[in-house]
Amino acid sequence: MDFELDPGQRQWLQEVRAFLREHVTPALVAELAEHDLEKRDGELAAFRRKIGDKGWFGLNWPTEYGGLGLGPIHQHLLVSEFERWGVPGPDLTVTSVAPMIMRHGTEQNKAEFLPPIARGEMVCAVGYSEPDAGTDLASLRTRAVLDGDEWVINGSKIWNSGAQRSTHEWLCVRTNPDVPKHKGISVIIVPIDAPGISIRPLMAWSGYRTNETFFDNVRVPATNLIGEVDKGWRYITGALDLERGALTNAGDLRRAVDDLLALAREPRRDGVVPVHDAGVRRRLAELDADVEVATLMGFEAASLLEDGTIPSVEVSTEKIFTSELRQRIAEAALDLLGPDGLLGHNTAAAPLAGSFERLYRAAPLLRFGAGTNEVLRDVIAQRGHRMPSYGR
């Protein structure tokens, strides 16, 4: 791992920052503050089209698939900077679904799905979790049965975030119930507007909307199967490793700690200047150092991708560390700000437009999103240290 950016990477970072200075408008910030990500044609949708026009959804894809041929470090820099500005960049469709299609998809899969993903026109929700499967993804029951030249799909998914604004579902289904559970799973791309799909909102404490999605005799072409039938477990685990790496970027944590340091130097409404307290200074210094650790973890994962390896133990470690660090930053902010820290974004007196109140409510989400931290500790033990599985 090289600890210095090369001249091309530094120039790329300046280009990304120039784009953000031009296109992160007050209207976009206001829409994001409302958590209103349901709109398919709002400020966020327009912002995505600008990213697509730059070709940045496929920035690290090979040119043969319509990408720019840049590396994972370039993508990591872009995502970090977007996170620091508080705006969504390339989502899981780009960072985890598309790479699996490139690695394992048929030629028809690649020709049909990669170009619209690169243009920002195709957005996938990922259909993994099910109501009765708990933390064991391989216990999924949603079935797909081949009928002529179509798959017929029945079942349901839960925590299906983004389904209300997606165009497709990256759907994990059971295609063979007569083999061990990890060996009878496939992945099928399903248009979200296919007849037989219904979506029910589930509102989280953070204010973020997720969904329960139902599939009732949904029919899609047989060619929508990704790669080979019954080989989906490999595609899912690869996509999840990439998802954990994308979700644990420390860009927004750097912004949060920088904001917190600035607030701590100002007198609160009660006249107290927080940095005058040695305990506050020590706590902020520890958080600042931990964000640097998280930043290095992100570069380590990107460096492995640059070498052609999908990191697994590394991103599991990173995900645990950053998600628990996020919680500690949120708790420190509310302690430091006192009662004002509880004011939400729709209150004029809220410090930094209520960003820390929002961070506090949203922080628990990433402790279980993309695999709970308890499951990931098992992953580290089994894959990283060759400890035995106890049959979860």
Cα–Cα distance for residue pair 264/258, rounded to 1 Å: 10
Answer yes or no: is pLDDT of 243 > 80: no
pLDDT at residue number 247: 60
Q: Give the model's confidence band at 2: pLDDT under 50 very low, under 70 low, under 90 confident, else very high.
A: low
So which residues are the catalytic ones?
A: 243
The pLDDT tens digits for 36-90 are 455 667 788 888 888 988 888 888 888 878 788 888 889 889 999 999 998 888 8
More confident residue, 267 or 247: 267
Cα–Cα distance for residue pair 6/308, rounded to 1 Å: 19
Cα–Cα distance for residue pair 366/372, rounded to 1 Å: 8
Alpha-helical (H) ranges within 200-347 are 232-247, 251-264, 278-306, 313-337
Q: What is the maximum alpha-carbon separation in the chain?
A: 74
pLDDT at residue number 36: 47
Smallest CA-to-CA distance from 172 within 156, 194, 161, 196 is with 156
The pLDDT tens digits for 145-196 are 999 999 999 999 998 988 988 899 999 999 999 888 788 999 999 999 999 9
Smallest CA-to-CA distance from 318 within 126, 76, 111, 125 is with 76
The pLDDT tens digits for 21-40 are 999 999 888 888 776 455 66
> 43-64 burial string, b = 16+ CB within 10 Å, else e?
bbeebbeebbeebbbbbbbeee
Q: Give the model's confidence band at 246: pLDDT under 50 very low, under 70 low, under 90 confident, else very high.
A: low
pLDDT at residue number 38: 55
pLDDT at residue number 244: 66
Mean pLDDT is highest, among 156-165, 199-208, 277-286, for 277-286
Answer yes or no: is pLDDT of 253 > 60: yes
pLDDT at residue number 245: 61
What is the dihedral angle through the alpha carbons of 52, 54, 60, 62, rounded to the nearest 10 degrees? 90
Distance from the Cα of residue 257 to its chain's centroid: 21
* Mean of all residue pLDDT scores within the chain: 87
How confident is the model over 208-221, as a mean pLDDT? 94
| Sequential DSSP letters for 304-315 | HHHTT---SHHH
Residue 116: other Cβ atoms inside 10 A:
17
Answer yes or no: is pLDDT of 316 > 80: yes
| Sequential DSSP letters for 166-201 | -SEEEEEEES-TTS-GGGSEEEEEEETTSTTEEEEE
pLDDT at residue number 390: 65
